Each structure stands twice: as C-alpha cells, then as structure tokens.
Structure 1
Amino acid sequence: MKTKAISLVFLVCGMSAHADSSGDVHLADPSRTQFIELSDRYNCDASGYDSRYRGNTALSRVEFAQVLIQCGRTIRKIQAGAEIDASQQADLKTLETIENNFSSEIHTLDPNYPN
C-alpha cells in the first residue's frame, strides 16, 4: 500500500513513478503511457519490442530505453524535415522529459544519443 501511495504522489507531481523495487517499467508508468502515445502519433517501429512495450508485461529500464532510442530517432527525423508546430514542440518536450527519466540507461546503450 505504501508503494501505491508514493507512486500516486509522483504521478500527481508529474514525476515518473517506478512502483516496484526491481526498476521495471510497468504499463501504468507515466513514462510508458506517454511514450506509447508518442509512438502512435509518429508511427514508430520498435523492431521486436513493439509487442512487449504495448503488452501487459513489465519492461526492464534498459529494454524501455532501447525502444525509446529507436522511437526518439524517428520522431527527431520526422520533425527535422518540417516546420515544427506547437503540438510537435510539445511532443518533443514530452520525449525529452521521458529521455531524462532514463538518461542513465540511454547513455549506457548509446553515449552519442540523440546525435
């Protein structure tokens, strides 16, 4: 019960909530929910991970970071080729917020990301 209360506090404050001590990213995690919305809007192909991050299975933080890197590259490529409107600017800010929550894992997987 205490974990749920702490998660709710993080959720209300807009912070990423990682409810279990294993560090897994669960379906209800705000970062995962926001990421799925972005990946739908930009038709991200998460090569092999699509069914996992959209499913009911928890992902490790590293698995989630792998998907985030792939989709982040797609979003940035799409936005680089066009004039960015307010909605796309908000999407980029959301992506950057999620990336900040997983910066350690992203840097371990790809130290040069997002470049």
Structure 2
Amino acid sequence: MIPSCHDLEKENSYHMMMLGMCLCLDKDYEIISNREVGKGRDDLILKAKDEKKTSFVLEFKYLKKDKKALEKALDDLSNKAIQQIKDNKYDYGLKGKVIYIGLVHHGKDVNIKWEEK
C-alpha cells in the first residue's frame, strides 16, 4: 500500500511514514525519532551501529501554503531544514560520517537537499 499525497498533508504524517519505512533498518541503525538533542528536537536520526558506516539526520518540513514560486519555496525550506539541523546540533553524539537531509513536501511536490558534515 502506498499513501496518497492526500494522506500526507502535514509534516507529522510524512514523518510517520518515513519512520515506518526506516524500521527495517534497525539491524544496522539505531532509529531515533523526536529526541531532545542539542538545542531542539530532531525529526529522525539513523545512527549507524558501526561507526565506519554513515549516519543520517533528517529534518522534515511541510510547505503549508500554495505559493506562486513553489519550486523556490520548496528549495528555500529544504535549505532551512539543513540549517536547523546545524543550528540545533541534532548531530550531537554521532561519530564518523554524517549526512544532513532536509526533506520538504507540498502535495505531490518534493524537494530534498543533503549535505555531508
């Protein structure tokens, strides 16, 4: 079963879908969701159990309003998501290679940015 864009109307619904999809990774990753860390609360962290493997910090954003320049708005918000990861130090305690991922959606439109720490 694949959810419709109508099922994913808010940041939390997208977060829950992604969390469910990541549960199968628990052999190799500690899956951390909504943990108080650094200066805020992360959305989703996939912490590699083997420090030689890459860990991931994901921040989800939902574009609430239709905008004329939707593509630019999605792009701006994904950059803001990555900056939030850095500012709030969501990577606290992660060792080795870490990838920051900012994932923004609005209906069927999605923008993903990533940056290596």
> Of Structure 1 and Structure 2, which has the larger fraction of its residues in strand?
2
TM-score bracket, normalised by the shorter chain, equals 0.3 to 0.5
User: Normalising by structure 1, what TM-score?
Assistant: 0.33
> Of Structure 1 and Structure 2, which has the larger fraction of its residues in helix?
1
